[in-house]
């Protein structure tokens, strides 16, 4: 028997708790056991992994690089084990899982905030980690399991990644709330305005929907390209520019909405995951919950 054979699920959970709380006393309190009991289990973990794992730091403890590495691996192992014993009729209130979602700042404002509030009501033991979308490494992250789901657009996904369409988003033209620009303009007037665009994938001054602008003979004077919608509001409010923003991010007190006879085509928002998790009851349940949240956004 090797040292690793002595490792059990309770010890895995204990290690994750120590990483979260970084205090033996707080872990003991959360488990309703003595500090001595936690110390004994930590001693066993140190022997199993042949590493100190945690060192004293102020009034608490600090993880070693080995402990941090183990934490990421063991969290994934526990999720797999819990999924293996989960039945289709599981009780969400009893599930203790951590979900990692990668999403654009737009989706963080519109979708994941609502999802977090939803989970707090129906599945309070589920924890969420929300990460900024990293397009270049998204497929790798889904494959490795460091990301469970991605909320994005189909164009950012590898063809082999399964996804579910959540809804279609449309655009609204906006300018600063302090602007004297009329609340209704014709499309050709866009030629006379300064434009700001959001380009999360590749920084450039070209923008999207080029065919739509070409159709109406509009050549935008794009004066700035920024990486996220989160900072757009302040850029527009403090300047003389106009911008197209997803409608679900409105209203915004810093922005004035400008009506046009027609608008550039919108985009589909999708939820993506890796094929290996497609039949997992828990993952299927999460997909259903996110779909329910998004159905209320229409």
Question: What is the DSSP annotation of 36-82?
Answer: HHHHHHHHHHHHHHTS--EEEETTEEEE-HHHHHHHHHHHHHHHHHH
Q: Are residues 194 and 152 in the same domain?
A: no
Of 141, 169, 31, 5, nearest to 76 by C-alpha is 141
Confidence class of residue 183 from pLDDT cuts 50, 70 and 90? very high
CA distance 242 to 174: 6
Residue 1 has pLDDT above 60, yes or no: no
Q: Are residues 258 and 178 in the same domain?
A: yes
Q: Are residues 49 and 114 in the same domain?
A: no
Of 172, 175, 167, 181, nearest to 244 by C-alpha is 172
CA distance 87 to 228: 40
Q: Structure tokens of 116?
A: 């977090």
Q: Structure tokens of 295?
A: 């159905």
Pick the range with the lowest mean pLDDT from 15-24, 30-39, 277-286: 277-286
Of 23, 51, 78, the last residue of a domain is 78
Q: Are residues 277 and 249 in the same domain?
A: no
* Cβ 142 vs Cβ 131: under 8 Å: no
Cα–chain center distance at 45: 32
As for how many domains the chain has, the answer is 3
CATH number at residue 221: 3.40.190.10
Of 25, 51, 78, the last residue of a domain is 78
Pick the range with the lowest mean pLDDT from 2-16, 20-34, 119-133, 212-226: 2-16
Domain of residue 116 covers 87-168+269-295
Confidence class of residue 83 from pLDDT cuts 50, 70 and 90? low
CATH number at residue 66: 1.10.10.10
CA distance 14 to 178: 55
Confidence class of residue 91 from pLDDT cuts 50, 70 and 90? confident
Q: Are residues 160 and 217 in the same domain?
A: no
Confidence class of residue 88 from pLDDT cuts 50, 70 and 90? low
* Cβ 232 vs Cβ 226: under 8 Å: yes
Whole-number percent of the chain with pLDDT over 70? 93
pLDDT digits (tens, 9 = 90+) for 259-273: 999 999 999 999 999
Q: Are residues 256 and 138 in the same domain?
A: no
Of 26, 61, 78, the last residue of a domain is 78
Q: Structure tokens of 142?
A: 């889904």
Does 86 or 120 have the greater pLDDT score?
A: 120
pLDDT digits (tens, 9 = 90+) for 204-251: 677 778 899 999 999 999 999 998 888 999 999 999 999 999 999 999
Cα–chain center distance at 167: 17
Does 278 or 68 have the greater pLDDT score?
A: 68
Average pLDDT on 64-69 reads 89
Q: Are residues 160 and 182 in the same domain?
A: no
Q: Are residues 204 and 141 in the same domain?
A: no
Confidence class of residue 86 from pLDDT cuts 50, 70 and 90? low
Return all residues near 274 (Cβ < 8 A) that are at least 6 apart: 142, 143, 145, 161, 162
Q: Are residues 218 and 234 in the same domain?
A: yes
Q: Are residues 176 and 251 in the same domain?
A: yes
Q: Are residues 278 and 291 in the same domain?
A: yes
Average pLDDT on 249-259 reads 96
* Cβ 216 vs Cβ 243: under 8 Å: no
Task: Supply the pLDDT for residue 282.
Answer: 85
Rounded (10°) angle between helices 9-21 and 65-85: 130
Q: Structure tokens of 29?
A: 């309190």
Q: Are residues 62 and 201 in the same domain?
A: no
Average pLDDT in the chain:
89
CA angle 277, 292, 285 (to 5 degrees): 30
């Amino acid at each position: 028997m090797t040292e690793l054979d002595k490792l059990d699920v309770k010890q895995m959970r204990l290690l994750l708790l120590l990483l979260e709380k970084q205090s033996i006393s707080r872990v003991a309190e959360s488990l309703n056991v003595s500090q001595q009991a936690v110390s004994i289990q930590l001693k066993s973990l140190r022997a199993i992994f042949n590493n100190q794992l945690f060192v004293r730091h102020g009034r608490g403890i600090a993880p070693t690089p080995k402990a941090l590495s183990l934490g990421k691996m063991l969290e994934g192992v526990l999720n797999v084990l819990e999924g293996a014993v989960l039945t289709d009729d599981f009780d969400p209130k009893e599930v203790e899982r951590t979900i990692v979602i990668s999403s654009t700042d737009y989706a963080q404002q519109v979708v994941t905030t609502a999802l977090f509030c939803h989970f707090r009501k129906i599945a309070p033991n589920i924890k969420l980690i929300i990460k900024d979308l990293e397009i270049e490494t998204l497929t790798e992250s889904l494959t490795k399991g460091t990301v469970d789901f991605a909320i994005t657009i189909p164009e950012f996904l590898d063809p082999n990644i399964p996804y579910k369409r959540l809804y279609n988003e449309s655009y609204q033209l906006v300018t600063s709330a302090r602007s004297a620009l009329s609340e209704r303009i014709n499309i050709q007037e866009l030629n006379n305005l300064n434009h700001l665009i959001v380009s999360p994938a590749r920084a450039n001054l070209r923008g999207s929907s080029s065919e739509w602008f070409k159709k109406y003979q509009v050549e935008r004077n794009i004066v700035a390209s920024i990486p996220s919608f989160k900072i757009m509001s302040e850029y527009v409010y403090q300047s003389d520019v106009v911008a197209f923003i997803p409608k679900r991010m409105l209203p915004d007190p810093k922005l004035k909405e400008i009506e046009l006879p027609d608008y550039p085509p919108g985009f589909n928002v999708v939820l993506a995951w890796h094929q290996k998790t497609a039949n997992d009851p828990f993952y299927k349940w999460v997909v259903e919950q996110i779909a329910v949240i998004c159905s209320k956004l229409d």
